[in-house]
Amino acid sequence: MEVSTKPILTEDLDVKPSQGKTSVLKALRNNKVAYGSFWFLVVIHAVVFLGPLFWTTDPDTLQDAGSLASWSLQHPFGTDDLSRDVFARMLHGGRVTLIVGLAAMLFSLLIGTVVGACAGFFGKVVESILMRITEAMMAIPTFFFILVALTVLGTSPAMVILVIALAGWMEIARVVYGETLKWKEYEFVEAANASGATPFRILTKYIIPQIVPSIIVSGTLTIAAAILTESAISYLGLGIQAPTATWGNMLQNSQQYIWTAPVLGVLPGVAITIVVLAYNFLGDGLRDALDPKFVKK
Amino acid sequence: MNQELKNSPIEPSEPLLKIENLKKYFPIKGGGYFKGNKKVVKAVDGVSFEIYRGETLGLVGESGCGKSTLGRNILRLQEPTEGRVFFKENDILAYRSHEMRKLRRQMQIIYQDPFSSLNPRFTVGEIIGEMFDIHGVAKGAEKEKKVKEMIELVGLDPSRYHSYPHEFSGGQRQRVGIARALALNPEFVVADEPVSALDVSVQSQVINLLMKLKEELGLTMLFIAHGLNVVRHISDRVGVMYLGRIVELSETDNIFDYPAHPYTAALLSTVPEADPRLKKERIVLKGEVPSPANPPSGCHFRTRCPLATERCANERPELAEVRDNHFAACHYPLEKGQTLKEAITSLEQSRQPVTQ
């Protein structure tokens, strides 16, 4: 009987820990779309974060070219309705959007990992309380929650990040919870307990490192969702407020000029779409690359 | 009496470990939230025995009889449902969790599966070094030196300090597991089927290593196994378990030469003899091991026992001394030298005369 309660997990354990990030990239190389997405994202992030060092035009200053000017050498994407340089706004707006996405993802990961790992590891009352909270959060319509929370808490960048994170940690918690349940059954975890390790040590040194691949995958998919959410709430006017540019509020701003200056809407729209798509492709690719049991259809 | 004790191969001077009426019941899932009659699996059902300082107590039984559960409960890796465990006369089940963690350096466990019992993301040095870190015994270069000594002690090359478990074979991994368990020089070790997962050729190497280390380090060991010959080789005393209870307990030779419990006798008859000319009577037990969720009344073995009577169904036999230092839980224990076959015949004869 004690034999059957222990899962037979031997083949799983032949993880080669010496394989670092390089081998993950190598595994990713077989999946062309995901590999392409990875490099595309590297380029986008480099352009958005380093670009303003070279393109020094201020995104909030009114330009001499006038409003809704067409493209020129001085203003490659023209100017917007208030005669600000669209290229500079795309760069700075991208910065804000991507930082909000990354920060919200990190915060979601933190909450999700702590909740999931504690629920899975401690079980009993802790598990009941934490997982019921998680399920309750999942039952609340995300968008409704975000709109109400932002209306109450205000729309400063920190609040936007916090609220997006609070709306997006549940999936991660469930993934980490499931993985923790699986890993805590391994004998090496019991052996750590038999050695006198504290629960904190067992969680941080024995269980969570095994879950890191799953966390990376969830994190990648969470960034995509966070960027999309930030754009959506900006579009509704509850996101980060003007004059600070984000891709979302640039999109909102462009509505009334959709026939006169379509480029104002197309640029941020396309940017959001391809970045979110690329993150999704990368996430899917990573899941395949990190999970050998995942059979491609 | 004293004289006699001193001459016996094991010195029952003082028990290092004393287990009293230990029970571990697992609740069975299902039955719905609101049903009162919760069923349980009685994995360990009232077990009492002592382990003396310096001895190796072998524990045998079929898979599912609760022997591994017993080992884990003694170390409090699972919480017993009932009973008491005394380690050096202290009731360790009353210990708080931080006291228990401190005590763990004195009592260790060696696992059956050399694959799942080692953290795949730790090097061998880290796996063994964890023991020193957790108990704050040694750090840095001193720790590395001590870990390398341990690696060498179990017969591995200390230069493999930075190797990962997947770079080793099963037998080598088991040596790493042994090194981890013995790193802080514990007094008591539970070896939970330490060789069942290994090739036969490797088994004997690991057994010999364990015996050598036991001698050198003065270990007290609870050796759990299902292979009888392995247990015979390594144990001073042997306990036989059946469905959560100890049915027989005595010195190794007593158990193997003169079993008193019919189950032990049947179990022993399955051991293949090296000499083909020695013909042995093989006793095949009828039926299967009953479910521990619904064990038979009285003696758990009675449904398969050729000697069972009505008394066995009504009365639970307690572990009692049937001969000198030989304990069995049976209403009709075999006499010294009596085979099960003979016991069956004599039982039938004793029934016959009434009708004739």
Residues A82-110: tens digit of each pLDDT: 778 888 888 888 888 999 999 999 999 99
Report how many Cβ contacts below 8 Å link chain A to chain B: 90
| Residues shown for chain A | 297
Question: Which amino acid, one-letter code, is at A106?
Answer: L
Q: Report the gap between the CA of A26 and the closest CA in chain B (Å).
A: 20
Rg (CA), chain A: 23
Pairwise CB contact (< 8 Å): A10 & B69: no
Report if residue A51 sits inside a domain: no
Residue B77: DSSP 8-state: S
Measured CA to CA in angstroms, residue A224 lies from A241, A281, A284 at distances of: 21, 10, 12
Residue A20: partners with Cβ closer than 8 Å, 6 or more residues away: none
Closest CA to A147 of A162, A163, A125, A135: A163
For residue A17, which residues of chain B lie inside 8 Å, CB to CB?
120-122, 164
Q: Report the gap between the CA of A120 and the closest CA in chain B (Å).
A: 17
Report if residue A165 sits inside a domain: yes
B89-108 core/surface letters (b: 16 or more CB in 10 A; e: else):
eeebbebeeeebbebbbbbb
- Smallest CA–CA distance from A209 into chain B, residue: B121
For residue B112, which residues of chain A lie inside 8 Å, CB to CB?
187
Pairwise CB contact (< 8 Å): A17 & B68: no
Whether residue B10 contacts residue B236, with contact meaning beta carbons closer than 8 Å, is answered with yes
Measured CA to CA in angstroms, residue B230 lies from B66, B200, B207, B225 at distances of: 19, 11, 8, 8
Please compute, for residue A219, the number of CA atoms within 13 A of its CA located in the half-sphere on the CB side. 15
Q: What is the pLDDT of residue B220?
A: 92
Closest CA to A191 of A201, A180, A178: A201
User: What token pair was written down for B103?
Assistant: 């005590």
| Terminal alpha carbon distance of chain B | 47
Number of domains chain A is built from: 1
Greatest distance between any 2 Cα atoms in chain A: 81
Question: Which amino acid, one-letter code, is at A184?
Answer: K
Pairwise CB contact (< 8 Å): A2 & B66: yes
Report if residue A68 sits inside a domain: no
Residue A26: partners with Cβ closer than 8 Å, 6 or more residues away: none
Q: Report the gap between the CA of A199 and the closest CA in chain B (Å).
A: 10
Q: Report the gap between the CA of B26 and the closest CA in chain A (Å).
A: 11
Whether residue A246 contacts residue A272, with contact meaning beta carbons closer than 8 Å, is answered with no
Q: Which tens digit of pLDDT belongs to each residue from A273-294?
A: 999 999 999 988 888 777 654 4
For residue B95, which residues of chain A lie inside 8 Å, CB to CB?
none
Tell how strand B15-27 and strand B82-87 pair up. antiparallel
pLDDT band of residue A23 (cuts 50, 70, 90) is low
A237-250 core/surface letters (b: 16 or more CB in 10 A; e: else):
ebbbeeebbbbbbb
Per-residue pLDDT of chain B (356 residues; tens, 9 = 90+): 344 444 444 455 688 999 999 999 888 766 555 555 667 888 888 899 999 988 999 999 888 888 889 999 999 998 899 899 999 888 988 899 899 999 998 999 999 888 889 988 899 999 999 999 999 888 889 999 999 999 998 889 999 999 998 889 888 999 999 999 999 889 999 999 888 888 888 888 888 899 988 888 889 999 998 778 888 888 999 999 998 899 999 999 888 888 899 888 888 887 777 777 766 667 777 777 888 888 888 888 888 888 888 888 888 888 888 888 899 998 888 888 777 778 888 877 776 655 44
- Smallest CA–CA distance from A206 into chain B, residue: B119
- Smallest CA–CA distance from A200 into chain B, residue: B134
Question: What one-character-per-residue DSSP string does B86-97 give?
Answer: EETTEEGGG--H
Q: What is the pLDDT of residue A295?
A: 42
Report if residue A244 sits inside a domain: yes
Report if residue A158 sits inside a domain: yes
CATH number at residue A221: 1.10.3720.10
Pairwise CB contact (< 8 Å): A209 & B115: no
**Measured distance CA(A165)–CA(A279) in Å, rounded:** 17
Pairwise CB contact (< 8 Å): A10 & B134: no
Report if residue A15 sits inside a domain: no
Q: What is the pLDDT of residue A241?
A: 80
Q: Which strand (E) or helix (H) includes residue A289?
A: helix A263-290
**Measured distance CA(B331)–CA(B347) in Å, rounded:** 13
Residue B62 burial class via C-beta count within 10 angstroms: exposed 0-12, middle 13-18, buried 19 and up: middle
Tell how strand B188-192 and strand B220-225 pair up. parallel
Tell how strand B107-110 and strand B90-91 pair up. unpaired
Give residue ranges of A with CB < 8 Å to any B CB: 1-3, 6, 9-10, 13-18, 186-188, 190-198, 201, 206, 209-210
Whether residue A163 contacts residue A146, with contact meaning beta carbons closer than 8 Å, is answered with yes
Report if residue A26 sits inside a domain: no
A14-50 core/surface letters (b: 16 or more CB in 10 A; e: else):
ebeeeeeeeeeeebbeebeebbebbebbeebeeebee
Pairwise CB contact (< 8 Å): B180 & A206: no
Report the residue from A188, A195, A209 with minimal CB separation from B104: A195
Report the residue from B103, B117, B122 with minimal CB separation from A187: B117
Whether residue B261 contacts residue B300, with contact meaning beta carbons closer than 8 Å, is answered with no
Domain membership of residue A188 as a residue range: 78-290
Pairwise CB contact (< 8 Å): A191 & B121: no
Residue B294: partners with Cβ closer than 8 Å, 6 or more residues away: none
Pairwise CB contact (< 8 Å): B121 & A17: yes
Residue A263 burial class via C-beta count within 10 angstroms: exposed 0-12, middle 13-18, buried 19 and up: middle
Report if residue A215 sits inside a domain: yes
Pairwise CB contact (< 8 Å): B135 & A3: no
- Smallest CA–CA distance from A212 into chain B, residue: B121
Report the residue from B109, B121, B180 with minimal CB separation from A209: B121
φ, ψ of residue B7 to 5 degrees: the values are -80, -20
Whether residue A243 has a cis bond before it, omega within 30° of 0: yes
Whether residue B352 contacts residue B335, with contact meaning beta carbons closer than 8 Å, is answered with no
For residue A194, which residues of chain B lie inside 8 Å, CB to CB?
75, 77, 104, 108-109
Q: Which tens digit of pLDDT belongs to each residue from A141-180?
A: 988 899 999 889 888 888 999 999 999 899 999 999 999 9
Sheet containing B15-27: order of strands: B40-52, B15-27, B82-87, B90-91
Instruction: Report the 10 Å Cβ neighbour count for B275.
Output: 7
Residue B286 burial class via C-beta count within 10 angstroms: exposed 0-12, middle 13-18, buried 19 and up: exposed
Give residue ranges of B with CB < 8 Å to any A CB: 41, 43, 63-64, 66, 68-69, 75, 77, 100-105, 108-109, 111-113, 115-122, 130-131, 134-135, 164-166, 177, 180, 292
Q: Which tens digit of pLDDT belongs to each residue from B26-72?
A: 887 665 555 556 678 888 888 999 999 889 999 998 888 888 899 99
